[in-house]
A and B are shown apart, each in its own frame.
Chain A
Amino acid sequence: MKNSIIAILFFAAGIACAKLQLVPKIVLDSDFTLYVLYVQILFVGICMGAELNRSIALIKSLNVRILLVPFTTVIGTLLGVLLFSIFINSMPLSDLLATGSGFGYYSLSSIYIAEIRGETLGIIALLTNIAREIIGLAFTPLFAKHFGKLAPIAAAGATSMDTCLPVITANVGKNYAIISVFSGTVVTILVPFLITFILRVM
């Protein structure tokens, strides 16, 4: 929760600095954001690579059923957004689905979508995916109680591997931590693929 608020504050500070022209024009006109994103992705990769052996061992020790969890997260998200699109005329289905395909990974999804479709959809993606992370954090106890132990993992989407992991394990048990990390990792890797596919192919 605290991190989500800090995230929004940094975003707002960026807007303010651009409006008040506190930043050199060169930074504003360059692809600064994209380069910062690349650096971040590099470090995501480093963290994943360092855990590779452990991840493979965990997957081997678990049933094939574990594959169902990220799959369920993706299908459920897309179905939910598809249903929602029936009530929304102002946005094309592909834009809605791409926004939902951030799965809470707001930095990557918003910048990436902004690159492809422009800043407006980028903002929607940012707010949607920050909201998803906050919902994941706040409603995990409720989801765990009424919808089974996989529900909080699916709800958290990509964030089930990091931000939401502590609250998920606290509510569904430590034995589901592996499934949570696995699902979040797979969903995180899928984000750029899905967004590209939806925005460029659909």
Chain B
Amino acid sequence: MMRRTLLTVTSTAALLAAGPLAAADVPEGVELAEDQSFSYRELDQPASIDPQLVEGVPGAHVIQQLFEGLMIQDENGQLVPGVATGFEANEDNTEFTFTLRDDARWSNGDPVTAGDFVYAWQRAADPATASTYAWFVELAGIQNAAEIIAGEAEPDTLGVEAVDDHTLRVSLVDPKPWFPQMTAHTTLAPVHQPTIEEHGDAWTNPGNIVSNGAYVLDEMQLNEYWSASKNPEYWDADNVVIEDVSSYIINDTSQALTRWEAGEFDLLEPVPAGSYPRLQEQYPDAAHSTPRLCTYYYTLNQGENGPEALKDPRVRQALALAIDRDVIVDRLLQGGQGSAFTFTPDATDGFVAPEIEHADWTQQERDQRAKELIEEAGYDDLNFDLLFNTDESHRQIATVISQMWSQKLGVETTLQNQEWSTYLDTRREGDFDIARAAWCGDYNEPSTFLGVLRTGVPQNSGSFSNEEYDALLDQAPTAEDREGIYTQAEAILSEEMPVIPIYHYANAFLLDPAIKGFPMNNVENNWYVKNFYRVAEE
């Protein structure tokens, strides 16, 4: 039986050298500031801070401070132990056994047990919870998840079992070598059953909440701020340096920048669109831009309601080639984003981009080829609607791209903006020609991106369907050469061009230089304040 433990997955040397894994890694000789607090700006009020209900980045940032899952991530986005000290997988990656540390405790002193995870995961899938993230349990491939979500099986039939208090066994429907990566996701964090049973929906309110992370929630004023303080029961509390965490909800990005400049908080992400070059000049020690695991793309409707011309790969290719991505990235956004020729971002773990010919061409060469293709296709007077959700930056990009199409290819576009909720409806119903879209990885592995374009998945709003592509993705989990398969799949996308990748996101942010320990290379933007510390001003 092939056994793989965490030690072979991450760097053995690093784990052994560090001995017991410390939270904040403060080098010797560094003088810490007296005030060990950390504060940041959040764009929106998280709708919920219940791990099984939470959605969106603001909520995830709260969960990452208050709760700890089986595995978490280090500064490079690599898996490190959370509540689990390690795991073993069976030969075909359909069964994972996690060993839980015996000193993990809830903020009320109760031990964190395997049963807490079983309860939490069943709760996520249970239709009675009505979680908009229930799909994550299904995506993770846990046995019976799909049936439970559909109401065809009882929640306690979920393929997760507490062998004893410190051993958790997970059974999957099909092989998923990347399953441990998924346990870092907020949906799979444990929750404290007695607290939920006592307080019902109000269990996450300050005073009621019991959590197992490095911090406990003190206050939560909706649309204003929340604050948390160090959890003395946290298993690694001795190594947690930051005592207090607070977050200010500020919708307006320019206002947030002014308040950051006034020193009201430490971290501002993202900075206002287009302001990064100026900020980099003004605050060289504070301004950073790091790659993000997200792709900005245009989806081309090849479904029933889509225009005939978009069913022709030549037209799709021509549209993709005619977009000068450098103009968008370097002149419009200016925040360190990268031009995209693949749907999967380059920064994704285990992704090797295929050789894409047109990626190496000059823009003139691409334009030339685009003209040839559109002539070959032979459509006259092409006119498409271009749908995007109301936002200044989306409008600018749409305007520039429609100009490029019009000037280079004679393809006219009608810009059509809808506010978010309406836009989602329109996209889901497939009632568009071309639509702006974006996708962020749920875990750091190419399948989180490539899976979006499988036949029939709800996110595939352009109704792309390619048998060869689907077959490759089916093979990937059990394949010896997973990387090679992903490369092949991506090559199909660059030929078929069901979606036009435009750019890969970057996270441009301002961080008070006194704050150290921020994970600059974590492409999923997962950060844990327990790893931070504030140095004394020199």
Q: Do A and B truly interact?
A: no
